[in-house]
Amino acid sequence: MELSKYARKLGENASSAARVLRASSEESRNAALDALSKILLKDAFAILSANAEDVEDAKAAGLSAAMIDRLTLNPHRLKGIARAVDEIAALPDPLNKLIDKKRRKDGLKISRVSVPIGTVLFIYESRPNVTIDGAALCIKSGNAVILRGGKETLRSNAALAACIRKALKAAKLPEAAAQVVSTPDRALLDLLLRDDAHIDLVIPRGGETLIRAVVEKSSIPVIKHYKGVCHTYVDKTADLKKAAAILLNAKVQRPSACNALETLLLDKSLKASAGTALLKALADQGVGLYGDAASRKLSRSVKAASPSAYDTEYLELKASVKVVDGVRGAVDHIAKHGTGHTDAVLAESEKVQQAFLAGVDSASVMINASTRFADGGEYGLGAEVGISTDKLHARGPMGVESLTTYKWIVEGNGHVRK
């Protein structure tokens, strides 16, 4: 099929499916998810065979070991994917919730209820689990979805798409409720990103380059996060034992996560011995430290920071360090170098905590806790749609609720406006 015709079909089919989903029952949406979870295991052989071919090609093409790992499915991982679908099915229905309701003196009733957004375009890279995750989150929330994965996973995604179609059919929902794009052509993606008549929201998941390209091309609203340069500020009133444990957790537990610590800010009024001890704790765990002159005086394991250090998201066992002038200095540094993701203050003084909280404009602000908590699961949102460093609609970790909007309902009995 011609590319522009294919793009139009994807949009139109999604839009028609969205009309059906909007009026669908919770039972039928959950039935589709229950079926999907079972079909994934029943069709495991087909999925794993398709995936093995993708992996073979990826190896032949010389892709990195990390990339190949992200791409690879095995029975254990497939079970995990099916379990995630079960967990999404078990969430409370995010639709038709009464948000607020009032009754005017003249008897007119005005209420707001949650409804699906419509059609969502998911754009992602090589993880095939996102295909199922994205489909399940959208089916749960009554949205049609177009799933566009990376070119490395075409065969895996085609096999997963077949499972999704079977599940939708079993639940008597339209198969176009979740369409998997069958070509990695960039030109097709560009066409979809301009189809604001049929697509209501774009969610890109992946590296900053991918996301910036999507934002540049899209005429549809995009919810995204570019990067997470997360700060932790240690005030002179911090409890040092807690501080050491929190810093290690924030940096070392999973350095590749977007909520991992990247920059440590030390209060200049903190005792030198305390600063030295905290830096040593990090260095002892193999964290490479890059800092300003003042922090280098505290520990010889701190190397000189390059000019771009404070804007760097390392995503590995490295961190930037800076000595700042109290909470005010920390707030100023974060205003300049922060990415609005997650920042923490370690202080026993409530005044300092409040000054940090009021001054730092980030999606999540942590008080005496690890930045690693910024996560949909940890926040009790059930399943995570993504993380947003945008300010509109959804901010920080997003649950399935972020895939809904609302509708005003006005009920009268012949009411006219005066």
Stretch 46-85 residues interacting with a second copy (CB under 8 A): none
Question: Of the ranges 49-57, 215-223, 283-291, 293-301, which one interacts with a second copy (CB under 8 A)?
Answer: 215-223
SS3 339: coil
The binder of a second copy chosen from 364, 384, 385, 398 (CB under 8 A) = 364
Residues between 234 and 273 with contacts to a second copy, criterion CB under 8 A: 239, 241-242, 245-246, 248-250, 253
When binding is defined by CB under 8 A, the residue of 51, 299, 362, 389 that contacts a second copy is: 362
From 37-45, 75-83, 86-94, 354-362, span contacting a second copy (CB under 8 A): 354-362
Query: Rounded to the nearest whole angstrom, what is the least distance from the CB of residue 329 to a second copy in the complex?
Result: 14
By CB under 8 A, the residues from 182 to 211 that bind a second copy are: 200-201
Q: What is the DSSP string of 131-161?
A: HHHHHHHHHHTT-EEEEE--GGGHHHHHHHH
Considering the rule CB under 8 A, would residue 101 count as an interface residue with a second copy? no
Contacts 24+ apart (CB under 8 A), 186-191: 187/3, 188/3, 188/6, 188/7, 189/123, 189/148, 189/217, 190/217, 191/3, 191/4, 191/7
Tokens of 345: 């203050």
Number of residues counted as binding a second copy (CB under 8 A): 66
Could you give the string, one character per residue 2-21, with x where binding to a second copy holds by CB under 8 A and - elsewhere? -----------------x--
CA dihedral (261, 267, 268, 270) positive or negative? negative
| CA distance linking residue 251 with residue 241, whole number of Å | 16
Asked if 413 touches a second copy (CB under 8 A), the answer is: yes
Q: Which is nearer to a second copy, 78 or 394 (CB)?
A: 394
Q: Residue 417, interface with a second copy (CB under 8 A)?
A: yes
Q: If we measure between CA atoms, which residue out of 398, 363, 399 comes closest to residue 382?
A: 399
Residue selected from 46, 67, 84, 115 as contacting a second copy according to rule CB under 8 A = 115
Q: Are 123 and 202 in contact (CB under 8 A)?
A: yes
329 binds a second copy (CB under 8 A): no
Q: Is 172 in the site for a second copy (CB under 8 A)?
A: no
Contact region with a second copy (CB under 8 A), list: 156-164, 290-298, 302-310, 373-381: 373-381
Q: In the bound complex, what is the minimum distance in angstroms from residue 310's beta carbon to a second copy?
A: 16
H or E element: which one contains 193?
none
Minimum distance of a second copy from residue 375's CB (angstroms): 8
CA 139 to chain centre: 18
Give the whole-angstrom CA distance, residue 239 versus residue 200: 47
d(CA 270, CA 392) in angstroms, rounded, equals: 37
Closest CA to 352 of 289, 294, 270: 270
**Does residue 294 bind a second copy (CB under 8 A)?**
no
Adjacent-strand bridge partners of 319: 289
| Helical pair 75-90 and 44-60, crossing angle rounded to 10 deg | 120
Residues that bind a second copy (CB under 8 A): 19, 22-23, 102, 104, 108, 110, 115, 117-118, 200-201, 215, 219, 221, 223, 239, 241-242, 245-246, 248-250, 253, 335, 357-359, 361-370, 372-375, 378-380, 390-393, 395-397, 405-417
